[in-house]
């Protein structure tokens, strides 16, 4: 995690719904705008609900200091992973290729992927999270 310096694993969040958010920031101004809007939508939802964990994964080209500053300046308090060797992106590469940045992967508490989207509005993201959490309670 570029903000805390801690090593994390999705297993750390076993039993919780996870929003794995693949983003690229600091490399392209037009992508930065879309990514920033998506991150701020996620932030608003984390302020409203506590039934999911966002985890943002950044491509290796993103400068760590830029990411850390953006996270702290916007009070984005969730794991920010810098995938310098692309090992994480490689596991989800087909989704990132399909949707570009951002790509949102919805993971159930049982670690199954229940959906994948590109950038979505805050209401649409809220609906997707509702479905993810509802599926987890069945």
Q: In this predicted model, what pLDDT tens digit does every residue of 28-45 receive, in sequence order? A: 667 778 888 899 999 999
**Mean pLDDT across the stretch 73-94?**
89
Instruction: Find all residues with CB under 8 Å of 123, minimum gap 6, and list them.
Output: none
Rounded Cα gap, residues 80 and 83, in angstroms: 10
Instruction: Tell me what the mean pLDDT of segment 108-119 comes to.
Output: 91
Burial class (CB in 10 A: 0-12, 13-18, 19+), 88: buried
Closest CA to 128 of 36, 21, 5, 10: 21
What's the confidence (pLDDT) of residue 27? 67
How many other β-carbons are positioned within 10 Å of the β-carbon of residue 122? 16
Give the pLDDT score at 44.
94
pLDDT band per the 50, 70, 90 thresholds, residue 133: confident
């Amino acid at each position: 995690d570029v903000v805390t310096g801690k090593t994390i694993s999705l297993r750390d969040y076993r039993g919780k719904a996870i929003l794995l958010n693949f983003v690229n920031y600091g490399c392209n101004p037009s992508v930065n705008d879309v990514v920033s809007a998506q991150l701020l939508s996620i932030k608003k939802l984390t302020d409203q609900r506590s039934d999911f964990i966002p985890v943002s994964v950044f491509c290796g080209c993103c400068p760590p200091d830029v990411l850390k500053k953006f996270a702290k300046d916007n009070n984005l308090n969730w794991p920010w992973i810098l995938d310098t060797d692309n090992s994480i992106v490689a596991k989800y590469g087909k989704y990132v290729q399909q949707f570009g940045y951002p790509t949102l992967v919805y993971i159930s508490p049982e670690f199954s992927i229940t959906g994948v989207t590109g950038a979505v509005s805050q209401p649409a993201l809220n609906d997707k999270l509702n479905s993810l959490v509802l599926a987890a309670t069945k």
